[in-house]
Amino acid sequence: MLTESGNLMKFGLHMPLKGGFAPNIKRAAALGCRTLQIFPGNPTAWRLPDPQPEEFAKRRRLLAEHRIDPLIIHAAYLVNMSSANELFLERSCRLMQETMERAALLGAPFVVMHVGNHGGRGFDTGMELFITTLAREMQNWPSGVSLLLENTAGGGSSLGGSFASLGHILGALGPAAPVGICLDTAHAWAAGYDFASVEGIRASMEELFDAVKMDRIGVIHANNINSPRGKHRDRHMHLREGLIPPEAFATLLSYPWPEDLPVILETPEIGSHWDEINLEALRSFARMGAAQRGGEDGKS
């Protein structure tokens, strides 16, 4: 939505690793990005590159120079903190610790992580292990960095596909835990939430806010999708080319979110001309949302 000063929310991209950090930052700034998301390393590897404090300091200065804030870190896809395999769980915890420390070095306040899966042992067992693992591991994380649990497409042994399950995790960890939520629109659609209309998204958001307070939502991933709703298939699409219509995105953005809430695109072909197209679509949806909200305020 538009803020009181008339500025758009903080929109940005998931920035590719290819091409180098500095050139990609400059390109993102030229596109008008005010926030960015990156992987700290190879998203399918267990090890991060060795930390280089001087290089990280340069990156922080570059981000500040181009007024890109916050930087968001996306954890590796391998991480599963509800795995029954002890070695896999140990590796996941170690990689998350390294990721949180890397975020602190880069001045990134958020690390986004997929909730994971129970591996066939049952939802309740998987959730219990996930919560127990998080409660233990978060004691070792650096201060100033919060973990954001991203809602998943659901299905099979996946955890975190429902807003209620995310709310359960936050409730079990307590209000002081450095843990919040990242809302992914494509994943919500794949999990079965009705983002096909204004009425549908309002009902879905009511369910979300019943489970999770708005102030616990740290990031939105604004993605469209081309797979049928509720089929648990995560197929991101360009914002104007998927099944979620513009008016649904506009309604989502019309809610009274904090003006510094990051909204990140994870649309296809990141790093191409599509970035500008998708960013402009997002800005257009935000203007639609502001007009929608203004009309509602005028009726009250």
- Kindly indicate the confidence band of residue 292, based on its pLDDT and cuts at 50, 70 and 90: confident
Place of tokens 């970035």: 275
What pLDDT score was predicted for residue 5?
36
What pLDDT score was predicted for residue 25?
97
- Kindly indicate the confidence band of residue 296, based on its pLDDT and cuts at 50, 70 and 90: low
Q: Could you please report the per-residue DSSP string of the chain?
A: -B-TTS-B-EEEEE--STT-HHHHHHHHHHTT-SEEEE-SS-TT-S-PPPP-HHHHHHHHHHHHHTT---EEEEPPTT--TT-S-HHHHHHHHHHHHHHHHHHHHHT--EEEEE--B-TTS-HHHHHHHHHHHHHHHGGGSPTT-EEEEEP----TTB---SHHHHHHHHHHH-TTSSEEEEEEHHHHHHHT---SSHHHHHHHHHHHHHHS-GGGEEEEE--EE-SPTTS----EE-TTTSSS-HHHHHHHHTS---TT-EEEE--SSTTSTHHHHHHHHHHHHHHHHHHHHHHHHHH-
Does 253 score more than 80 pLDDT? yes
| Residue range 5-39, pLDDT digits in tens | 344 689 999 999 889 999 999 999 999 999 999 99
User: For 208-237, what is the mean pLDDT?
Assistant: 96
What pLDDT score was predicted for residue 133?
97
Does 239 score more than 90 pLDDT? yes
* 70 neighbors 60 (Cβ within 8 angstroms): no
Does 300 score more than 80 pLDDT? no
What's the one-letter identity of residue 296? Answer: E
Euclidean distance between CA atoms 166 and 208, whole angstroms: 9
| Residue range 254-291, pLDDT digits in tens | 999 998 999 999 999 999 999 999 999 999 999 999 99
Backbone angles phi, psi at 263, to 5 degrees: -120, 115
What pLDDT score was predicted for residue 6?
42
What pLDDT score was predicted for residue 2?
46
Name the CATH topology of 10-299: TIM Barrel (3.20.20)
What pLDDT score was predicted for residue 1?
47
Euclidean distance between CA atoms 209 and 151, whole angstroms: 14
Q: What predicted TM-score, i.e. pTM, was given to this entire model? A: 0.94
What pLDDT score was predicted for residue 116?
87
User: For 138-159, what is the mean pLDDT?
Assistant: 95
Q: Helix 86-106 vs helix 123-137: angle between axes, to the nearest 10 degrees?
A: 50
| Residue range 151-193, pLDDT digits in tens | 999 988 899 999 999 999 999 999 999 999 999 999 999 999 9
| Residue range 86-126, pLDDT digits in tens | 999 999 999 999 999 999 999 999 999 999 889 888 999 99
- Kindly indicate the confidence band of residue 135, based on its pLDDT and cuts at 50, 70 and 90: very high
Q: Where is pLDDT greater, at 279 or 294?
A: 279
